[in-house]
Amino acid sequence: FRFKDSLAEDLRSADLVISHAGAGSCLETLEKGKPLIVVINDKLMDNHQLELARQLHRDGHVLCCNCSTLVETLRLMDLSALKPFPPGQPEKFALFLDKVFGFQ
């Protein structure tokens, strides 16, 4: 999609998501429990997306490829090997902030 206000309905009905490696796109998809293939744009300078994609791949949560290997990744993929992404724990971050700012 070039631009869409929300992908929530599309994610809800998807069997597989193919996305760039933006943090929002990856985390929203994984939080919905959908299998994800992350396609890295290796032409970007200072590619911070690459770090996230590689870590999620190392942790077994996503399949990772680039544009030239996408077809091969689709052909060989084993979605059953992907591990569920653990749910977030925002309360831990809130406790950390409370300690840092002396509210606790």
Q: In this predicted structure, what is the pLDDT of residue 53? A: 92
Q: How far apart are CA 27 and CA 85, in angstroms?
A: 9
CATH number at residue 37: 3.40.50.2000
Residue 1 placed within a domain: no
For residue 19, give its domain range.
7-101
Closest CA to 20 of 79, 81, 70: 70
User: What's the number of domains the chain is made of?
Assistant: 1
Q: For residues 2 and 40, which has the higher predicted lDDT (pLDDT)?
A: 40
Predicted confidence band of residue 17 (pLDDT cuts 50, 70, 90): very high
Instruction: For CA atoms 13, 15, 20, 24, give the dihedral sign.
Output: positive
Quote the pTM value: 0.81
- pLDDT tens-digit map of 40-71: 987 776 777 888 999 999 999 999 999 999 99
